[in-house]
Structure 1
Amino acid sequence: MSRKPSGKPAAAPWTFLSNHAHVLICLAQDPSLRIQDLADRVEITYRAVQRILDDLEAAGYLKRSRRQDDARSNEYKVNTSLPLRHPIEQHQRVSALLALGKVR
């Protein structure tokens, strides 16, 4: 970790969206991403992605299935009709979040 001139560690960069949102956006863009590829894109650990996938699947935001062409790999289906989870955003659907990922 880099240090500021004061000798204190530099603060980690912050983002507007959670890692859960980042994983969901990535999978909506490419449903056959491997866990390691997700970890690399979101810049978190493999294990963190596994936990996020478990959370999203348990809450119904994601459905995991084996790929037809490669039984060793998963394919993901995002449920775009569910509301966002935080009370401030719960009037919006996942589809609104995913629309953000399309802006480039």
Structure 2
Amino acid sequence: MSEQARQWHFLTHHARVLFAIARDPAVRLRDIAALCHFTEHTAQSIVTDLEQAGYMRREREGRRTRYTLCVEGAPRHPAEAHVPVRDLLEVFTTHDGQP
């Protein structure tokens, strides 16, 4: 197994994209990709996954896309099902008590 294959990351790509959108609902797809350190194609695929799972909605505003998070539910994994998505986003998008 290669060194790269053995690496793991604390947050999933999906979580990183959700946090990027939480910080800036008008963020561009290319900026999500840059912030998360993966390709624009990967970012697009993850945004689609998140929308289909009900974590967010996309709306066109002229030439831009605006994202609306749907944070009332809980994560899909049973281990986190008791924690609202809103609370997780707050932890990961707030620094020193400031959003």
CA distance in 2, matches of 1:47, 1:77: 21
Gaps in structure 1 of 5+ consecutive residues: 1-7
Q: Deviations over 1:17-74 (max 9, x none)?
A: 111111011101100011000000001111111111111111111010012xxx1110
Q: Secondary structure in 1 aligned to 2:41?
A: helix
1:30 pairs with 2:24? yes
1:15 pairs with 2:13? no
**Greater C-alpha radius of gyration:** 1
- Superposed counterparts of 1:1-80, under 5 Å: 10-11=3-4, 13-67=7-61, 71-80=62-71
Question: Given residue 56 of structure 1, which amino acid in structure 2 is its aligned partner?
Answer: L
Q: Secondary structure in 2 aligned to 1:53?
A: helix
Q: Secondary structure in 2 aligned to 1:88?
A: helix
| Residue 81 (structure 1) aligned to one of 41, 62, 72 | 72
Gaps in structure 2 of 5+ consecutive residues: none
The alignment of Structure 1 onto Structure 2 pairs a total of residues equal to 94
Residue 9 of structure 1 and its aligned partner are, at CA, apart by: 5.5
Question: Given residue 95 of structure 2, which amino acid in structure 1 is its aligned partner?
Answer: V
TM-score, normalised to structure 2's length?
A: 0.85
Specify the alignment match of 1:98 in structure 2: 89
The structure carrying a bigger helix percent of its residues is 2
